[in-house]
Amino acid sequence: MQTLHVELGDRRYPIFIGSDLNPQSLLEPYIHGKQVMIVTNTTVKPLYLDHYISAIERLGKTVATCILPDGEKYKNIEHLNLIFDALLAAGFNRDATVLALGGGVIGDMAGFASACFQRGVYFIQVPTTLLSQVDSSVGGKTGINHPLGKNMIGAFQQPQVVLADMAQLNTLPDRELSAGLAEVIKYALLGDLDFLTWLEANMDGLVGRDATLLAEAVYRSCAHKARIVANDEKEQGERALLNLGHTFGHAIESYLGYGVWLHGEAIATGMVMAADLSQRMGWISLVDVERTKKIIQRAHLPVKCPAIPLDEFLGFMAHDKKVLNGQLRLVLMKSLGQAVISKEFDLELMKQAILTNQEKA
Amino acid sequence: MQTLHVELGDRRYPIFIGSDLNPQSLLEPYIHGKQVMIVTNTTVKPLYLDHYISAIERLGKTVATCILPDGEKYKNIEHLNLIFDALLAAGFNRDATVLALGGGVIGDMAGFASACFQRGVYFIQVPTTLLSQVDSSVGGKTGINHPLGKNMIGAFQQPQVVLADMAQLNTLPDRELSAGLAEVIKYALLGDLDFLTWLEANMDGLVGRDATLLAEAVYRSCAHKARIVANDEKEQGERALLNLGHTFGHAIESYLGYGVWLHGEAIATGMVMAADLSQRMGWISLVDVERTKKIIQRAHLPVKCPAIPLDEFLGFMAHDKKVLNGQLRLVLMKSLGQAVISKEFDLELMKQAILTNQEKA
């Protein structure tokens, strides 16, 4: 087992990364009150819920559960309210802990609920998908979607501890494993050319679910994110680099409707568009773009999105949170493995980058 | 005009207290982006909305509005969502400012919305009731109610600036003026015997809406709260003293249904119950209890609540946020003008204090 600490002063917390982790001993120091609400979904429930209930009850805690339907389309205010209902029906107080057992949607919703319930209770994350292990484990971003935009409502809420268990990835569908690899690739593209080379050497093993390779990929991704977040918790600057591919990706997700494409799939194509625009700006080479596409394809991820009318695509981009004072900022690549935040891009070139990486209508 | 600074490090902000304040000049330094969403209600809208729209538009800002129905019963997740709808429909971004123009309900909802929208945008408060001027202006507590409990969902969100304009109190109904005086009296009872003496000398003038006296009462109340909050922003200790009368009061409000009694009215009777229990514990005298009741009555506030079955009253108290690890903590008075947080009270004496200060069934 490897341990990574996210350095956030008095909110410093550990991420435990390994296989077949023991939740009872690992969680014990991090549950401060007597009440634990496990939030999970209907897919994860039959696989892992009983294991965690037993472990936490053996610690002498009161456990209650809130089972949500599975899917991004339920990441809304109505389903958030079900968590509040469950917390209040159980009579839970300010010293309660909300434990997220599931993927990114569960982590976002349970985390946001824990930030708001009684103006803030404790939060623990047990991410059960590769994407949530590398993305949601670090950073404290929680929230829900709104019909007019993704993640528009939320809070920064840091967990007490994160358990990332590679054994749980064995039950993950192939498509979701690939979606997680999209975020892994993102860390390489935005700031670590060595990691990109490592991924090129090991992508087949990762797709084949080699637990040692997966743990290494999770560790390196989380370490990257932890370093960036420790420097910039509230996303005033450097942290925005983590949104490589996301402004394009969010537009794809919004147009298709949440949940049609997985987040990681949309981000994958979004990264191709970002690379393409970076090349058109003269910052990276065509070879770099091809290398970007190749590693994405080897992770079984899409490099083109369905045909989307350009005005609608741009409309969704304008709703992105990275718009500041009406000015769109994009995360692009100054060189391969080195992302920058830029509002200096050419709008016409951006349109070409979008259109080129779509299926023909 | 008096200015009080709430000292919260890099979130330090001023409260401007006076009559006929000029919003254009006072707000200008505190609106950072280009977009301002004014949240108000149907009662305040015809009185003051146009004045603020004009002032802010003269600053070159884009103004949008969200008009909510008036009343505590609308302080729920459905109406909170209307603010998010308005923000997104207006295309507002992370640099937006949400301005609360109204009483405590509007302040709580607009503040909570500003804390959650895009995981946090700017917030400005223009409290238009005496209660919100002395209570919501300081402390950063925002939130909404849940059918199972008051203020159960929320966030700590500090404003950029607060404008407390005594001229706006001229349109306040008598009953709401009195409800505000309940919180003013609270500051005297919990920590300032001199202020209690001042209130005893000036209560008739306050009830008669003397603007100079009201400004002085608001300044002294806010100064008390600001000092306590600066010491204990997240309510780990001393800040809980501000809940004098609130655990009893919340039970009264919850039983009667939100909005039947005003918050200040419930707190007034709650403070009588707290004083009564403090006397039964041998901490204050019967004369102190009578002095407490007298100043509350002179503010035209109730010293008894309607008959409420004891088991239901206790049930609502058990849902209070001051329950920690299942242990109810009450704010009582060790002496008149000196409140303490105590879990050492006698349950039987507490029941007597509740029953004595109810109407007969």
Average pLDDT over residues B104-118: 97
Share of chain A above pLDDT 70, in %: 97
By annotation, the residues of A acting in catalysis are 119, 141, 183, 225, 235, 239, 243, 246, 250, 263
Is there a contact between B81 and A81 if contact means CB atoms under 8 Å apart? no
Q: Is the pLDDT of residue A237 over 70?
A: yes
Of the listed ranges A214-223, A284-293, B327-336, the one predicted with least confidence? B327-336
Q: Which CATH number fits domain A174-356: 3.40.630.10, 1.10.3720.10, 3.40.50.720, 1.20.1090.10?
A: 1.20.1090.10
Work out the pLDDT band at B325, boundaries 50, 70, 90: low
Work out the pLDDT band at B5, boundaries 50, 70, 90: very high
Work out the pLDDT band at B236, boundaries 50, 70, 90: low
Higher pLDDT, B231 or B50: B50
* A11–B contact, CB cutoff 8 A: no
Q: Is the pLDDT of residue B202 over 60?
A: yes
Question: Using an 8 Å Cβ cutoff, are B296 and B265 in contact?
Answer: no
Look at residue B105 in the predicted model and tell me its pLDDT.
94
Q: Is the pLDDT of residue B259 over 80?
A: no
Look at residue A77 in the predicted model and tell me its pLDDT.
96
Distance CA A164, CA B272 (A): 53
Q: Strand pairing of B97-102 and B35-41?
A: parallel
Distance CA B273, CA B262 (A): 17
Q: Which of B33, B152, B325 sits opposite A88 (nearest CB)?
A: B152
Listed residue (B305, B321, B303) closest to B240, CA to CA: B321
Structure tokens at B8: 């919260």
Higher pLDDT, B7 or A47: A47
Work out the pLDDT band at B326, boundaries 50, 70, 90: low
Work out the pLDDT band at B193, boundaries 50, 70, 90: very high
Look at residue B10 in the predicted model and tell me its pLDDT.
85
| Side chain identity at residue B89, one-letter code | A
Q: Tell the residue number behind the tokens 């009061």, with chain if given.
A: B249
Angle between helix B174-191 and B263-280 (nearest 10): 30
Beta-ladder partners of A36: A63, A97
Of the listed ranges A8-22, A117-131, A276-290, B221-235, the one predicted with least confidence? B221-235
Is there a contact between A152 and B89 if contact means CB atoms under 8 Å apart? no
Average pLDDT over residues B87-93: 96
Q: Which residues are within 8 A (CB) of B203 and not within 5 positions of it... i.e. 6 or more apart?
A: B181, B295, B298, B299
Look at residue A321 in the predicted model and tell me its pLDDT.
58
Higher pLDDT, B229 or A285: A285
Listed residue (B27, B349, B359, B338) closest to B195, CA to CA: B338
Average pLDDT over residues B276-294: 97
Listed residue (A52, A40, A31) closest to A95, CA to CA: A31
Q: Is the pLDDT of residue B89 over 80?
A: yes
* Interface test with chain B among A80, A81, A116, by most B beta carbons within 10 Å: A116
Share of chain A above pLDDT 90, in %: 84
Q: Which residue of A has its CA nearest to B92?
A: A319
Is there a contact between B318 and A155 if contact means CB atoms under 8 Å apart? no
Which residues on A lie below 8 Å from B324 (Cβ)?
93-95
Which residues on B lie below 8 Å from A91 (Cβ)?
318-319
Start-end of H helices in A281-309: 286-298
Average pLDDT over residues B139-167: 95
- Contacting A residues, span 45-104, partner chain B, CB-CB under 8 Å: 77, 81, 84-85, 88-89, 91, 93-95
* Residue-averaged pLDDT of chain A: 94
Average pLDDT over residues A242-247: 93
Beta-ladder partners of B40: B67
Average pLDDT over residues A38-54: 98
* A34–B contact, CB cutoff 8 A: yes
Distance CA B3, CA B1 (A): 7
| Side chain identity at residue A51, one-letter code | H
Look at residue A326 in the predicted model and tell me its pLDDT.
64
CA angle A167/A170/A176 to nearest 5° reads 120
Look at residue B230 in the predicted model and tell me its pLDDT.
84
Q: Tell the residue number behind the tokens 């100079």, with chain if given.
A: B212
Q: Which of A143, A156, A324 sits opposite B94 (nearest CB)?
A: A324
CA angle A284/A286/A288 to nearest 5° reads 60
Q: Spell out the domain ranges in chain A.
A: 2-171, 174-356
Listed residue (A269, A231, A234) closest to A252, CA to CA: A269
Q: Is the pLDDT of residue A63 over 70?
A: yes
Q: Tell the residue number behind the tokens 């129905």, with chain if given.
A: B69
| Sign, CA torsion B27/B31/B35/B38 | negative
Cα–Cα distances in angstroms (integers) from residue A108 to residues A72, A101, A143, B198, in the given order: 10, 11, 5, 51
| Side chain identity at residue B355, one-letter code | L
**Complex ipTM, two decimals?**
0.86
Average pLDDT over residues B218-229: 93
Domain boundaries A2-171, corresponding CATH code? 3.40.50.1970
Start-end of H helices in chain A: 23-27, 50-57, 77-89, 104-116, 130-134, 174-191, 193-207, 211-231, 246-256, 263-280, 286-298, 310-318, 347-356
Q: Is the pLDDT of residue B331 over 80?
A: yes
Cα–Cα distances in angstroms (integers) from residue B19 to residues A124, A228, B16, B210, B293, in the given order: 49, 48, 10, 11, 31
Work out the pLDDT band at A239, boundaries 50, 70, 90: confident
Q: Tell the residue number behind the tokens 């005005």, with chain if given.
A: A311
* B153–A contact, CB cutoff 8 A: yes
Exposure of A47 by Cβ count < 10 A (0-12 exposed, 13-18 middle, 19+ buried)? middle
Question: Using an 8 Å Cβ cutoff, are B173 and B137 in contact?
Answer: no
Active-site residue flag, B22? no
CA angle B62/B63/B68 to nearest 5° reads 155
Q: Is the pLDDT of residue B324 over 60?
A: no
Cα–Cα distances in angstroms (integers) from residue B178 to residues A149, A257, A269, B171, in the given order: 43, 51, 61, 13
Is there a contact between A93 and B326 if contact means CB atoms under 8 Å apart? yes
Structure tokens at B282: 């041998």
Listed residue (B77, B251, B70) closest to B176, CA to CA: B70
Work out the pLDDT band at B321, boundaries 50, 70, 90: low
Exposure of A201 by Cβ count < 10 A (0-12 exposed, 13-18 middle, 19+ buried)? exposed
Start-end of H helices in B31-173: 50-57, 77-89, 104-116, 130-134
Look at residue B249 in the predicted model and tell me its pLDDT.
95
Structure tokens at A163: 């358990």
Q: Is the pLDDT of residue A247 over 80?
A: yes
Average pLDDT over residues A12-31: 96
pLDDT in tens, A141-162: 999 999 988 899 999 999 999 9
Look at residue A360 in the predicted model and tell me its pLDDT.
86
Of the listed ranges A263-272, B53-62, B336-345, the one predicted with least confidence? B336-345
- DSSP state, A289? H
Higher pLDDT, B211 or A321: B211
Which one of the listed residues B220, B224, B246, B329 is annotated catalytic?
A: B246
E strands present in chain B:
2-6, 13-18, 35-41, 62-68, 97-102, 122-127, 141-146, 149-156, 162-165, 323-324, 327-328, 330-335, 338-342
Look at residue A238 in the predicted model and tell me its pLDDT.
83
pLDDT in tens, A113-145: 999 999 999 999 999 999 999 988 888 999 999
- Contacting A residues, span 230-259, partner chain B, CB-CB under 8 Å: 234
Cα–Cα distances in angstroms (integers) from residue B169 to residues B2, B48, B110, in the given order: 17, 12, 20
Which residues on A lie below 8 Å from B232 (Cβ)?
none
Question: Using an 8 Å Cβ cutoff, are B222 and B17 in contact?
Answer: yes
Q: Is the pLDDT of residue B225 over 70?
A: yes
pLDDT in tens, A175-192: 999 999 999 999 999 999
